[in-house]
Chains A and B, each alone.
Chain A
Amino acid sequence: MAYSEKVMDHFANPRNVGEIPDADGIGEVGNSKCGDIMRMYIKVEGNVITDCKFKTFGCGAAIATSSMATELIKGKTIDEALKLTNKAVMEALDGLPPVKVHCSVLAEQAIKAALSDYYTRLGVDPTPIVGVIKECDHDHGCGCDL
Chain B
Amino acid sequence: MQIYADNAATTALSPKVLEAMTPYLTEVFGNPSSLYRIGAKAKDAVEAARAEIAELIGAKNANEIYFTSGGSEADNWAIKGVCKMLKLKGKNHIITTRFEHHAVLHVCEGLAKEGFEVTYLDVYENGIVKPEDVKSAIKDTTALVTVMYANNEIGTIQPIAEIGRICREAGVLFHTDAVQAMGNVPINVEEECIDLLSLTGHKFHGPKGCGALYVRRGVRIANLIDGGAQERSKRAGTENVAGIVGLAKALELAVSTMDERRERLTKMRNRLIDGLLNIEKSRLNGDRDSRLPGNVNMCFEGIEGESLLLKLDLAGVSASSGSACTSGSLDPSHVLLSLGLPHEIAHGSLRLSFSDDNTEEEIDYLLKVIPETVSYLRSFSPLWDKIKSE
Interface residues in B290-348 by Cβ distance below 8 A to A read 302-304, 306-307, 310, 314, 323-326, 328-332, 337, 342-344, 347
**How far, in Å, is A113 (CB) from chain B's closest CB?**
12
B372 at the A interface (CB under 8 A): no
Residues of B187-219 contacting chain A, CB below 8 A = none
B126-134, B141-149, B223-231, B377-385: which one contacts chain A?
A: B377-385
Give B164 Cβ to nearest chain A Cβ, in Å: 32
B380-A35 in contact (CB<8A) = no
State the CA gap A100–B384 with chains docked (Å).
22
Please tell me if A59 contacts chain B, counting CB pairs below 8 Å. yes
If A17-B380, A34-B330, A37-B382 touch, does A58 touch B307 (CB 8 Å cutoff)?
yes
Contact B314 A12 (CB under 8 A): yes
B342 contacts which chain A residues (CB < 8 A)? Answer: 33
Complex Cα spacing A67 to B385, Å: 19
Chain B residue nearest to A100 (CB atoms) is: B325
Chain A residues with a Cβ closer than 8 Å to the other chain, count: 35
From A12, which residue of chain B is reached at the shortest CB distance?
B314
Given contacts A99-B328, A140-B330, contact A57 B302 (CB under 8 A): yes
The reply to whether B304 and A35 contact each other, CB–CB distance below 8 Å, is yes
CB-based contact A32/B329 at 8 Å: no
Bitwise, B339-364 to A at CB < 8 A (1) or not (0) is: 00011100100000000000000000
Query: How far, in whole Å, are A14 and B328 apart by their CA atoms in the complex?
Result: 23
Q: Which residues of A contact B326 (CB under 8 A)?
A: 59
Enumerate chain B residues within 8 angstroms of A140, measured Cβ to Cβ: 330-331
- Interchain CB contact under 8 A, B381 and A35: no
Q: Contacts of A34 on B, CB cut-off 8 Å?
A: 324, 330, 343
CB atoms of A57 and B304 under 8 A apart = yes
A58 contacts across to B, CB distance below 8 A: 304, 307, 325
Find out whether the CB atom of B383 lies under 8 angstroms from the CB atom of A57: yes
In the bound complex, CA of A61 to CA of B342 (Å): 23
Other-chain contact of A60, B307, B337, B347, B380 (Cβ < 8 Å) = B307
On chain B, the residues within 8 Å of A32 by CB distance are 343-344, 347, 383, 386
| Distance between Cα atoms of A34 and B342 in the complex (Å) | 11
Evaluate whether A57 and B303 lie within 8 angstroms (CB atoms) in the complex, with A12-B314, A35-B324, A39-B382 already known: yes
With A37-B382, A55-B381 as given contacts, are A60 and B310 in contact (CB-CB < 8 Å)? yes
Q: How far is the CB of B325 from chain A (nearest CB, A)?
A: 4
Docked pose: A136 CA to B344 CA in angstroms: 15
* Docked-complex contact A55 and B306, CB < 8 angstroms: no
Q: Is the CB of A37 within 8 A of B331?
A: no
A:28-79 near B, CB below 8 Å: 28, 32-39, 54-63
| Cα distance, A62 to B304, chains bound together (Å) | 10
Query: Do A59 and B381 touch across chains, with their CB atoms under 8 A apart?
Result: no
In contact, A28 and B310 (Cβ under 8 angstroms): no
| Pair A57/B384 contact, Cβ less than 8 Å | yes
Tell whether A11 pairs with B310 under 8 Å between CB atoms, given A99-B328, A140-B331.
yes
Residues of A within 8 A of B306 (CB): 59-60
Return chain B residues, CB-CB under 8 Å to A61: 325
* A141 and B329 contact, CB distance less than 8 A: yes
Q: Which residue of chain B has its CB nearest to the CB of A143?
A: B331
CB contacts (< 8 Å) of A139 on chain B: these are 330
| A142 and B307 form a contact (CB under 8 A) | no
Q: A11-B307, A36-B304 are in contact. Are A56 and B328 (CB under 8 A)?
A: no
Distance in Å from the Cβ of A42 to the closest Cβ of chain B? 15
With contacts A17-B380, A35-B323, A62-B304 taken as known, whether A142 is within 8 angstroms of B385 at the C-beta atoms is: no
A123 to chain B, nearest CB (A): 26
Query: Are B323 and A59 in contact, CB atoms less than 8 angstroms apart?
Result: yes
- Residues of chain A with a CB closer than 8 A to B325's CB: 35-36, 58-62, 100
Listed residue (A1, A14, A17, A38) with the most chain B CB atoms within 10 angstroms of its CB: A1
Interface residues of A (CB under 8 A from B): 1, 8, 11-12, 14, 17-18, 28, 32-39, 54-63, 99-100, 102, 138-142, 144
Q: List 27 A-B contacts (CB under 8 A).
A: A8-B310, A28-B382, A32-B386, A33-B342, A34-B330, A34-B343, A35-B324, A35-B343, A35-B344, A38-B382, A39-B382, A54-B380, A55-B385, A56-B381, A56-B382, A57-B304, A57-B381, A57-B382, A58-B304, A59-B306, A59-B325, A60-B310, A60-B325, A63-B307, A139-B330, A140-B330, A140-B331
Given contacts A35-B304, A59-B307, 19 further A-B contacts (CB under 8 A): A11-B307, A35-B325, A35-B330, A36-B325, A37-B382, A55-B381, A55-B382, A56-B381, A57-B382, A57-B383, A57-B384, A58-B325, A59-B306, A60-B310, A102-B330, A138-B330, A141-B329, A141-B331, A142-B331
